[in-house]
């Protein structure tokens, strides 16, 4: 099951090498807009922790590494 998923994911990303980097850029932009919103419970937590920013940067780095490897 896991091997099948990894094979399918690598085949999908091999044809779309820039997709993880674009998703990462979107997450970083979304983090910027979350910081501008009012401090509701979940939005405030996302703004304080910068979760989308950190996930976006890690996804971007992983996307660059995957793009070179595939």
Query: In the 3-class helix/strand/coil scheme, how is 9-67 assigned residue by residue?
Result: HHHHHHHCCCHHHHHHHHHHHHHHHHHHCCCCHHHHHHHHHCHHHHHHHHHHHHHHHHH
Please state, in angstroms and as integers, the Cα–Cα distance from residue 17 to each residue in 10, 21, 33, 70, following that order: 10, 8, 26, 8
d(CA 34, CA 52): 9
User: Number of folded domains in the chain?
Assistant: 1
pLDDT digit string, tens, across residues 9-67? 888 988 998 999 999 999 999 999 999 999 889 999 999 999 999 999 999 999 999 88
pTM for this one? 0.82
State the residue range of the domain holding 22: 2-69
């Amino acid at each position: 099951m896991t091997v099948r998923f990894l094979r399918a994911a690598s085949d999908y990303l091999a044809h779309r090498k820039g997709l993880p980097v674009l998703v990462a850029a979107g997450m970083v932009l979304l983090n910027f807009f979350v910081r501008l919103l009012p401090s509701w419970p979940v939005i405030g937590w996302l703004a304080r922790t910068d979760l989308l920013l950190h996930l976006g940067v890690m996804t971007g780095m992983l996307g660059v590494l995957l793009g070179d490897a595939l």
